[in-house]
Amino acid sequence: MSKKIGIIGSRRRDAKGDFELCKESFLSIYEEGDKVVSGACKKGGDRFAEIIAEELGLTEDNGGLILYRPDKSKLDPEKMEKNPKWAYAEINYARNTLIAEDSDIIVAVVAEDRKGGTEDTIKKFLKNKPEENLILVPQAIEDEDSWMNI
């Protein structure tokens, strides 16, 4: 039976070593027919999800890649005026809920401080899913090279 595997992670974990460890964790549970779920961020775990999906021929068009992008139409104009950072955080947290609810398993590339959107998604995921369905990607030994610069 196919499953939906969420790949999420901190933008601060964007090194090539992080990607390799994420991919290794993902491939240890992936079976043909599984789908990848992620949040379409341009750095970190979300970016890794898109690269891994592409390597496996999984796309949005064929249903193998499910991307939950923040819904900018839901930005609150009043909050945008007062505090744009919080307004964007609100739509990102709403997106995190969708990822948590839709994923059967999550591969998480967490930051050392365990703060932010990745942790929000993990907390929401663990409300309804067993802890054994959460895979935490270990910290890469080399963290110098940004994946985006390679």
Question: Strand, coil or helix: what is 67?
Answer: strand
Question: Strand, coil or helix: what is 136?
Answer: strand
The single residue listed with the structure tokens 């703060």 is: 115
- Please, are residues 104 and 133 in contact by the beta-carbon 8 Å criterion? yes
The CATH class, in words, for 4-138 is alpha beta
pTM: 0.90
Helix %, strand %, coil % for the chain, to 5? 45, 15, 40
pLDDT averaged over every residue in the chain: 92
Between the alpha carbon of residue 116 and those of residues 9, 42, 50, 77, 141, the distances in Å are 10, 16, 21, 23, 22
Average pLDDT, integer, range 94-110: 97
Between the alpha carbon of residue 60 and those of residues 86, 95, 133, the distances in Å are 29, 17, 24
Query: What pLDDT is attached to residue 142?
Result: 58
Query: What is the tens place of the pLDDT at every residue in 12-67?
Result: 898 899 999 999 999 999 999 999 999 999 999 999 999 999 999 999 999 999 99
**Among positive and negative, which fits the CA dihedral 49, 84, 12, 16?**
positive
The residues spanned by each domain of the chain are 4-138
